[in-house]
A and B are shown apart, each in its own frame.
Chain A
Amino acid sequence: MDITTWMFEWLEGNAIFTPNTLGYYWDGFVTTTQLVFLSLLAGLLLAVPLAILRSSRHKWISLPVYVYTYVFRGTPLLIQLYIIYYGVVFFDGIQETFLWPILREAFYPALIAFTLNTAAYTTEIFRGAIKATSQGEIEAAKAYGMSSSLMMRRIILPSAFRRALPSYGNEVIFMLHASAIASVVTLTDLTGAARFVYARFYAPFDAFLFVAAIYLCLTFAILFVFRQLEKRLLAHLKPLSH
């Protein structure tokens, strides 16, 4: 049987998954994807310079970054979200600035909290990768007369990014799962949509199992993408085949 007619018949005989509720899930999917993608992008951009500072030999440069990553990795994301969501009002004069219409909505406090959180984890991932650069490569770069910024750009960062790839893949999945708490501050992300459907039909199994399956598919998609990336970018580290 044709898959679209099958879908149609299944939808017709179903009280809960009407086109209407599927529309909620779709909106939730869009919100979740936007939140996760934007926070990962901003977090990545923050994490690169922070990781370089964190690897500095000078204590007064690396210590503040360490305090930041320690605090953000040591406390629950939910608390960070609450602090930003409830606290943003209390910055003096913020309600008069052009930022207020943006910050008043739950989306942006959530985005800020997620960005700061993932930036902290990503900083530590990159810092580990930078630290693991082989001493020989650094010596060779120095022997070529490279300045430390050129060495960072041409030698250390490109190989560190590759080494960080598997851990960063885990961080992306972690962020997808962590984004579910956006539903706590009234955002209708995927989990928020499931909560809505649950509340409306009092059908916890349908509502949450369906959304769990969506998350599972997304997780597998991310895993697949990172596995392909690793295959390409880490090909030089694979054991030689005989």
Chain B
Amino acid sequence: MLDLQGYGPRLIEGAGVTVQLAILSLLLAIVLGLLTATAKMSRSWLLHKVATLYTTVIRGVPDLVLMMLLFFGGQIGVNMISDMLYDHFDIDLYINFNAFAAGVLTIGFIFGAYMGETFRGAFMAVDEGQIEAGKAYGMGNALLFRRVRFPQMMRHALPGLSNNWMVLLKTTALVSVIGLTDMVRVAAEASRATHEPFVFLLPVAAVYLLIASVSEWIFAQLQKRYNVGFGGQ
């Protein structure tokens, strides 16, 4: 049997960190992605430029470099803000730079750019006639988004969304480099300490495969649901 030499509970804890990190980052990325897609399609010149800059720069720089920039720069940046608040407004505020929150923010921020591109394509694939029909029914913008644009957009966005999720899941492994104790970090530490890398790293790899397989199944179910009424393709 697999002998984890006492690292078992920590590995399970680490797996919990990985899953939480991935899911929270995904939610943030979806919100940012919707905002970016909206900005890119808006008539405002400035919004369009800002969104394009965001997606171009983020997609042109390695995730790890962005992470290090935010992690190592983050504490300094936060300190600078609290110093400024103290100097100018006499507000004594100590902001603790939480590593987990920084991880969620960084990964969410990176994948928001990818999601933005996915959602933009999907929004454009929604038939213009559907939106006109919604307007003819007197729907406001919010209602139109909730009832017409979002559900129909999701049908086109799901393949890209599922792709982005798989990449995001694997990207969470990088936080181990920066100091968060996810399952990769525990496994790497255990490998170094016990000189038995396969015992720890192979099960962790298997957990990633398991999560990927489960999410593939979930996305297939979602695809079925959003394809209802489209000839069951």
- Asked if A195 CB lies within 8 Å of chain B CBs, one says yes
Most chain A C-beta atoms within 10 Å of own C-beta, residue among B59, B69, B76, B198:
B69
Are A79 and B173 CB-contacts (below 8 A) given A177-B62, A191-B64, A204-B68? yes
In the complex, the answer to whether B57 meets A83 with C-beta atoms within 8 Å is: no
Question: Are B69 and A205 interface neighbours, CB within 8 A?
Answer: yes
* B62 with A180: CB separation less than 8 A: yes
Partner of B61, one of A71, A76, A183, A212: A212
The answer, among A78, A87, A194, A205, for a CB contact under 8 Å with B65, is A194
Contact yes or no, A215 B198, CB < 8 A = no
A interface size (C-beta, 8 A): 36
Q: Shortest CB–CB separation between residue A36 and chain B, in angstroms?
A: 11
- A86 to B196 CA separation, bound complex (whole angstroms): 8
Contacting pair B197 A181 (CB below 8 A): no
B125 to chain A, nearest CB (A): 19
**Digit string of A194-211 for contact with B (CB within 8 Å is 1, else 0)?**
110010000011001101
Give Cα distance in the complex from A12 to B166, angstroms. Answer: 47
Query: Is A10's CB within 8 Å of the partner chain B?
Result: no
User: Do residues B205 and A216 form an inter-chain contact, with CB atoms below 8 A?
Assistant: no
Q: How many residues of B contact A (CB 8 A)?
A: 37
Q: Which residue of A lies closest to B197 (CB)?
A: A86
Q: Tally of A-B residue pairs with Cβ under 8 A?
A: 108
Alpha-carbon gap, A215 to B170, bound state (A): 21
Q: Cα distance A76–B218 when bound, in Å? A: 21
Residue of A at shortest CB range from B170? Answer: A76
B191 touches A86 (CB 8 A): yes
Q: Considering the chains assembled together, what is the distance between the CA atoms of A199 and B103 in angstroms? A: 20
Whether, in the assembled complex, A224 has its beta carbon less than 8 Å from a beta carbon of chain B, the answer is no
Measured CB to CB, the closest approach of chain A to B225, in angstroms, equals: 24
Binding site for B on A (CB under 8 A): 70-71, 74-80, 82-83, 86-87, 90, 176-181, 183-184, 191, 194-195, 198, 204-205, 208-209, 211-212, 215-216, 219-220
Given contacts A74-B209, A184-B177, A204-B68, 14 further A-B contacts (CB under 8 A): A74-B166, A74-B213, A78-B184, A79-B184, A79-B208, A83-B197, A86-B191, A86-B192, A191-B65, A204-B69, A204-B72, A212-B69, A215-B60, A216-B61
